[in-house]
Amino acid sequence: MKVSMIQMDMKLGKPEENFAHAVELVRQAAQAKPDVITLPETWNVGFFPKEGLEELADQNCERVKETFSALAAEYGVNIIAGSVANRKPDGKVYNTACVFDRTGTLIAQYDKVHLFSPSGEHTYFQHGDSACNFELDGIPCSLVICYDIRFPELIRTEMLRGSKVQFVVSQWPEARTLHWDTLNRARAIESQCFLSCTNSVGTAGSVKCCGHSAVYAPMGECLILGGGDEQILTTEMDLSTVEQVRDSINVYRDRIPEVYHV
């Protein structure tokens, strides 16, 4: 599986400019003919304007669906369209990610489960209530958003459903770059999966995002690592190694779930 991660810089509270820029970057990424293109978290408005969020948010992801369904079909590529601030028909705003296959069909939609309370995300967004598993080209995959990566029980839930590739989309701050690098590598090692994490760069108010988008292999090797500027990172994942690692150190067989109380 060849993945191209778009380490995007976005403008806070400027969805028109951000949509245009995201489309431009997806078209650039498609030139490498990847199997999957990914975008970061809440790229439509940044993370996150505290004034006017409901008006700035996409409405039931309609614009995302229209835009990225067409792009996926045009280029014949799977697109994990990051996440967007998304106002649903219930009137609440969610942090929502959409996944499109090569035909442009929406095959998965995920609302961020764990909202980052230190920044007040939980007061502006409604949390999701389910994990996210799907298949890309027949390969079992799963998806989480940013703060979710600190909750290994969510990742393990997705792994127990058969996932071999964990996607993470984020707006992670430079102040906690060490945590970002360490947590993503740890999730890949403990889950014995490939992990593709796409972060943003630039600033949202006073917060600077760190980039460091990366792909980690099941034994923890870093296959590619981004810097601190906007860029597109492309690498290949040899998925045959997932079963090799899981056979050699079979943590899934050796689990004792009746002992765990989570």
Residues with active-site annotation: 41, 112, 146
Helix ranges restricted to H, the chain = 15-30, 53-56, 62-75, 121-124, 152-160, 177-191, 240-248, 251-254
Rg (CA), the chain: 17
Contacts of 254 (CB under 8 A, 6+ apart): none
Q: Are 165 and 196 in contact, with CB atoms under 8 Å apart?
A: yes
3-state SS assignment for residue 196: strand
CA distances from 153 to 52, 160, 184, 237, 249 (A): 34, 10, 14, 24, 20
Distance separating alpha carbons of residues 73 and 66, to the nearest angstrom: 11
Reference 98, options 147, 34, 145; nearest CA is 145
3-state SS assignment for residue 47: coil
| DSSP-assigned states of every residue in 59-122 | ETTHHHHHHHHHHHHHHT-EEEEEEEEEE-TTS-EEEEEEEE-TTS-EEEEEE-SS--GGGTHH
Scan for tokens 């219930």, then name that residue. Answer: 90
